[in-house]
Chain A
Amino acid sequence: MNATTLFSAPTAAPSTRATAFQPVIELRSIEKVYQTKTIETVALNHVNLVIHKGEFVSIMGPSGCGKSTLLSIMGLLDEPTAGVVEIEGRAVQSYSDKELAALRNHKIGFVFQSYHLINDLSVLDNVELPLLYRPGVSGKERRERAYAALDKVGLSARTNHFPGQLSGGQRQRVAIARALAGRPELILADEPTGNLDSVMGEEIMELLLGLNRDEGTTIVMVTHDEQQALKTQRLIRFFDGSQVS
């Protein structure tokens, strides 16, 4: 099946909160082609997708099928070769670097497979990071919000530790707290349990599910783990750059 589905209703584990059916992000006819002198690689082929407020969507597919590329484009970290990305109804292709940065800062939080914490900064400083780039947020407010985010992920006792002193699961919790600190509309998680053992992976998954269920946070997660994907409201499968279900 070609990637033409714009929206499908939640298929699994319905949220306890009613989704508002308000699009947070919409992708229309997205294509991504990597061009070298000799080879042209199509990473995404005519992808249409809408993510609604309060949804927890998982994206699955084999390695190299374009799911991480899709997540980068949704996160405004990469530009599509063709197509339109809309954030809350506004197309962003004409946005400047500064405007895109502001949009990422206010609307999107990222969780990466390999955490991407800054090892030279303490847990608290890492979590404060998104707020550093937000004008008008005082140092005191930054601290308070970072503490609150760490409290949510159960790491308020580790604020002065450094990433190197934490387990993989704890690092991913810090990364989630960092994504939450900016109170974004959308969290994009790229294989958040990929580097963790099953127990820790389960913990992280429960944390994300809780955030979606209790706080109404919209989450898009790329994963290889079908069991975890089935716990989300909607599962999108990718193959060779196209959405197949």
Chain B
Amino acid sequence: MLLSYLKIAWKVLLRRKFFTFISLFGISFTLMILLVVYALYDHTVGPHTPEKKVDRLLFVNRATVSFKNDNGSNNGTISYSFLERYVRPLRTPEKISISSYFGPTAAYVGNQKLDVDLKYTDGQFWEVLDFDFVEGRPYTVAEVQSGAHVAVINERTCRAYFGTTRGVLGKTIETDRVRYRVIGVVKDVPGMRFNSYADMWAPISTSTQDAKDPSYFGDCMAIIQARTPADLAAIQAEFNRVIDQVPVPDPKKHEKVHVYAGTLLSSTVRWFNNNSTPDDGVADLMGKVALVTLLFMLLPALNLINVNVSRILERSSEIGVRKAFGATAGTLIRQFLVENVFLTLLGGLLGLVLAGVVLHLIDSSGFIPYTTLTLNPRIFAGGLLLSLLFGVLSGVYPAYKMSKLQAVQALKGGRN
């Protein structure tokens, strides 16, 4: 029976080419937008290299010091000394890494300037994150402590500076007039992964920043690794207890220090919202995203409903015949839903292809450094799910209307 439904669905699509085009375009375009947005989301907060074990990581990347009497607040990235003093001693995490944010430096290849984003890290950074090494190794905790001028560089920098991505270990790279010995080359990290992204990574002990500066604000962040995902809550509880005890810089002016350890999604949302309240805003954002998605999907769904209802009248003879020969209302609803799901899956497939093209264009535009937005299985599954939702959404009402058509009226080709 399914085969018969699919045959009919295919013929109906071919019979009304214009309507089919309009329907498919609506579905595929909407899905394409949703898939591109989802790909960006997944690329930013999903488990990708080097933040593969994202379900075991917490990120501490902003601090806020609020003023008394609701008089505003200061906020910004955190100093190395603050993280060393209050975060490093935490007992519940498995590992803790402190690193700087990436900053621009300049290297020269002949007379050609090469922009190199440099990030200073501790030795644990390489244990907490999972970089893909093309060759060489990361620097160790001992090398960081000894202030060794060693560096790990990405493939793009390696190619641009040395003209190759292989056999550069032991060679020297000079940025901002500081010379580093290359000990490792890693695959490029997308710019959207701002907790780990850089062109070059060097021991934090080689930074010119004053590690003992007592200010709460600086240019550092911490990445905390739990033993298991279940440990995250306990780590956050300990973290919050410690932060509650942090003295304000100036008791006369300041009221409280706010720092949060959040998941990648939570810390990213908090970062973009510049949010210093205990609520990270993820639930609110997700609610809004769901609403916008629903509204966005509603338009082609309404279009499909409209097209489908008019198609019903064209097919009233078929409905009448099917009823006359024993089809129940339920059977007809199933048939029409199958047809609709078939149409939307086709639209979904087209949407996936379009999304693939758009993602490729984004990747190759260089708009976001080293971005490799691809249609991975998660996104493909999301697309299929959305297609099915579409099919059901736009098929239920027309199918119900069709099933209510009386056989006698349907055979006469009229409205019920």
Contacts and interface: CB of A to CB of B under 8 A. Distances in A.
Interface of A: 72, 75, 77-78, 97-98, 101-102, 104-106, 109-110, 112, 116-118, 120-121, 125, 128-130, 132-134, 178, 182
B408 A97 contact: no
A128 B4 CA distance: 10
Nearest to A77: B407
Interface of B: 1, 4, 7-8, 11-12, 15, 317-318, 320-331, 406-408, 411
A75 B411 CA distance: 13
A120 B15 contact: yes
Contact of B328 (A72, A101, A182): A101
A72 B408 contact: yes
A75 B324 contact: yes
A102 B408 contact: no
A168 B328 CA distance: 29
B326 A116 contact: no
Contacts, number: 71
Contacts of B7: 120-121, 125
Contacts of B323: 77, 101, 104
A182 B8 contact: no
B361 to A, nearest CB: 39
Contacts of A75: 324
A130 B411 contact: no
A109 to B, nearest CB: 8
27 contacts: A72-B407, A77-B323, A77-B408, A77-B411, A78-B407, A78-B408, A98-B328, A101-B327, A104-B323, A105-B325, A109-B325, A110-B321, A110-B325, A112-B411, A116-B321, A116-B411, A117-B321, A120-B7, A125-B4, A130-B326, A132-B1, A133-B322, A133-B327, A133-B328, A134-B326, A182-B325, A182-B326
B406 A97 contact: no
Nearest to B327: A133
Given A104-B325, A105-B326, 11 more contacts: A72-B408, A78-B408, A101-B323, A116-B317, A118-B8, A118-B318, A120-B7, A121-B4, A133-B322, A133-B331, A134-B326
A130 B326 CA distance: 7
Counting chain A CB atoms within 10 Å of each CB, which of B7, B317, B324, B408 scores highest? B324
A117 B325 CA distance: 12
A224 B54 CA distance: 80
Nearest to B331: A133
Given A77-B408, A116-B320, A132 B4 contact: yes
Contacts of A72: 407-408
- Top 7 nearest A-B pairs (CB, nearest first) are A105-B326, A120-B11, A133-B326, A130-B325, A77-B407, A101-B328, A78-B408
Interface centre among B322, B325, B331 (most CB of A within 10 A): B325
Contacts of A116: 317, 320-321, 411
B34 to A, nearest CB: 32
A81 to B, nearest CB: 14
Contacts of B330: 98
B411 to A, nearest CB: 6
A102 B326 contact: yes
Contact of B12 (A97, A109, A120, A132): A120
A129 B321 contact: yes
B11 to A, nearest CB: 3
A217 B315 CA distance: 31
A160 B167 CA distance: 68
